[in-house]
Structure 1
């Protein structure tokens, strides 16, 4: 007989469906507004350079990278990397994405606390993400679920703890991304890179992108809760 995990069905599956919808939404919204040119005629790279200089930031470079929606800001090298569909594009979507990434550069320049926290825990969360599930699996093999061995139970608890660290990273990411988008919309309007009636369209692009971070955090939280319900305490006799 097949075992059906009720916690997966109730907790994790709905968030995965939400994540799939969020991915569809961001791609479709970006595709729609990547076909709408901004009337001021700025490219994504030009807009990024204008915003950086307007913010008094002159030590951040702008680099062209391959791919679509692979745009990001690298705080270690102080490099803004814009993808094929953003760097040379004059679309409203391109300017929205470029301004969002510049928002991260401004956060870094100003010492925005949530960004500093996220950057500080990145090495820990990378290790935690790689080790959490293998530790839980080993703990199951050593009989930790049934409470037969202290060592197996210890491995499972360590795996859950490490998974929790990865969840914390997802939660800290939310205010960082939301703040960068708010900065982007405000700057695009105040600098006249976009006209007033174009701002709502850029906001739709960034709102759709923000939904993917919400979905990722929701999925991580649901997965953690599932692990706690499945393995958070011994099923055997405690000693």
Structure 2
């Protein structure tokens, strides 16, 4: 009988981060559902809230559109459009308003030249290329590691390519936290929600932020795992 292979590096490095990511995803969904039933006394929809935040910052040219799906909300800087999901666009809950204002926060970041989001956007092309090249380079490098040729160094180049995605996740953290900070400040400044209602939006945005922390943790532990595998193979050869 063939012996089963167990990847202990995955169990030691990556699995805890993956479990954390699963918990964070469950947390944001449950929190959003909870505060989707807490409705705004001012009866503003997610679309109304985003528009109020944008107008308060002079961003009258940013359009707001509906997009299909659940929590598929995003700001598209290329089209200068905020797209709000069905669960946010026309809903008057504190959860919907928090998410909508968060996306408006991203539009404000772009308009004001927020440095982390400019850096993140700048590395997107090389990050996409790096993600495609990382595993092929690592596999080829490991295959030729024992030949004594420079081909073995390709594995380290592959790890570096993978590291670009980790850098992207790292730059995403301050971008998302700042967008939420701007959203909550705008919600209060524009009198969109009462103090009690703002607490609901804050909890939704805090739960959402955990998903980005988890994404960074998964990427970082994957990077450490790949580096460990490459180092171990080179040391053996």
- Aligned residue in 2 for 1:218: 217
1:235 aligns with 2:230: no
- Select 1:99's aligned residue among 92, 98, 101: 101
- Secondary structure class of the residue paired with 2:164: helix
How do 1:149-160 residues align onto structure 2 when only pairs under 5 Å count?
A: 149-160=148-159
Q: Normalized against structure 2, the TM-score is what?
A: 0.95
How do 1:184-199 residues align onto structure 2 when only pairs under 5 Å count?
A: 184-199=183-198
Does structure 2 retain, via aligned residues, the 8 Å contact 1:148–1:236?
no
How do 1:53-132 residues align onto structure 2 when only pairs under 5 Å count?
A: 53-132=55-134
Does structure 1 retain, via aligned residues, the 8 Å contact 2:134–2:162?
yes
Q: Normalized against structure 1, the TM-score is what?
A: 0.94
- Aligned residue in 1 for 2:46: 44
Structure 1 residue 230: Cα displacement = 1.1
Note the residue ranges of structure 2 that are not aligned, 5 or more in a row: none
Change (3 A) 1:48 1:232: same
Does structure 1 retain, via aligned residues, the 8 Å contact 2:73–2:103?
yes
What does the per-residue CA deviation read over 1:140-162, in whole Å, with 9 as the maximum and x for residues that have no partner? Answer: 3x332xx3243541321121010
- Secondary structure class of the residue paired with 2:123: helix
1:12 aligns with 2:45: no
When structure 1 is superposed on structure 2, of 182-191 and 166-175 the one drifting more is 182-191
> How many residues get paired?
234
Does structure 1 retain, via aligned residues, the 8 Å contact 2:45–2:92?
yes
Instruction: Give runs of ≥4 in structure 1 deviating > 6 Å.
Output: none
When structure 1 is superposed on structure 2, of 148-157 and 195-204 the one drifting more is 148-157
Structure 1 residue 139: Cα displacement = 2.6
When structure 1 is superposed on structure 2, of 80-89 and 225-234 the one drifting more is 225-234
Does structure 1 retain, via aligned residues, the 8 Å contact 2:156–2:227?
no
When structure 1 is superposed on structure 2, of 162-171 and 131-140 the one drifting more is 131-140
In structure 2, distance between residues paired with 1:159 and 1:216: 20
In structure 2, distance between residues paired with 1:57 and 1:214: 29
In structure 1, distance between residues paired with 2:51 and 2:149: 58
Note the residue ranges of structure 1 that are not aligned, 5 or more in a row: none
RMSD across aligned positions (CA): 1.3
- Aligned residue in 2 for 1:163: 162
- Aligned residue in 2 for 1:176: 175
Structure 1 residue 136: Cα displacement = 1.4
